Amino acid sequence: MSLLQAIVLGLVQGLTEFLPISSTAHLRIVPELLGWPDPGAAYSAVIQLGTVAAVLIYFRRDLLTLGKAFFQGLARREPFATTESRLAWFVLIGTLPIGILGLAFKKSIEGSLRSLHVISASLIVLAIVLFIVERLASHKRTLDDMRWRDGLIVGLWQALALIPGSSRSGTTITGGLSLGLRREDAARYSFLLSIPATTLAGIFELKHLMEATERPSALALWTGTLVAFVSGMAAIAWLLSYLRSRSTLVFIVYRVVLGVVLLVLLNRGVLHPLSGVENVDTQKKSLQVPVEKQLTE
């Protein structure tokens, strides 16, 4: 991976991670359009640590408040007494579905589900769902109004993001809006909920990436992660400001247009649904063969 590729992929990751347009989709589409190999789910997960750092720094005061309330609640044996302590628990509970299902379907998520056919369908389907939710939602509730059931429901919505193209922020914001949360509150909770899942995924994949025979250079990893951090900070600030007075319609239209364009390009043979992924799988298999022979011999 060249330094230019690392910069472009980091920029794409940072700008699209928090917008409801799917970072995974763009990290598959951009390399394909530029003729680059698919960076793989592992590299994508590792540079997500840059966007995790962006959330941690941007919401540092919120996180300190939640952490303090969480431990004070445990010490006082009143773990759910305050809004802040409840939110901390909601984030933990909301992380369970994506953690369990992510491990259960890891191979499919990193392989066949990264097909551009799946991504284009996910882009369009979630856009339609988000449009319906936007029209029906009350947009009146705040984070203070959230209850246990709400935390679990948004967590289940987040698990849908395991399907590439769905968008983790897209599914969680949609889930929050479906519960009547204001747009800004739904986005804020989406950012907080992203921290455990993306951190654990990044660390988990970093371990496997470091053990791989063929992997991006340390410079490519650090560059992609740093660029993702800077662009992620900008995306968070912009989205929160945007949703204070506007709906998610622009993202809905963008998702539909991108999904349709993808389908047209796939149908005309300009893009190939699994070309990059197939190359990654082939490399993995070629590395496994000698090991298997050694074991049998």
pLDDT of residue 283: 43
Task: Report pLDDT digits (tens) over 259-285.
Answer: 999 999 899 988 888 765 554 444 444
SS3 164: coil
- pLDDT in the model for residue 211: 67
Q: Where are the beta strands (DSSP E) in 102-146?
A: none
Residue pair 198/48 in contact (Cβ under 8 Å)? The answer is: yes
Residue 286: predicted pLDDT? 41
Residue 285: what pLDDT? 44
Within the chain, which residues score under 50 in pLDDT?
279-297
Sign of the alpha-carbon torsion through 265, 283, 8, 168: positive
**Distance of alpha carbon 264 from alpha carbon 124, whole angstroms:** 13
Q: Where are the domains of the chain?
A: 3-296
Across-strand partners of 181? 141
pLDDT digits (tens, 9 = 90+) for 236-263: 999 999 999 899 999 999 999 999 999 9
Return the pLDDT at 213. 61
Q: What is the pLDDT of residue 273?
A: 84
3-state DSSP assignment of residue 288: helix
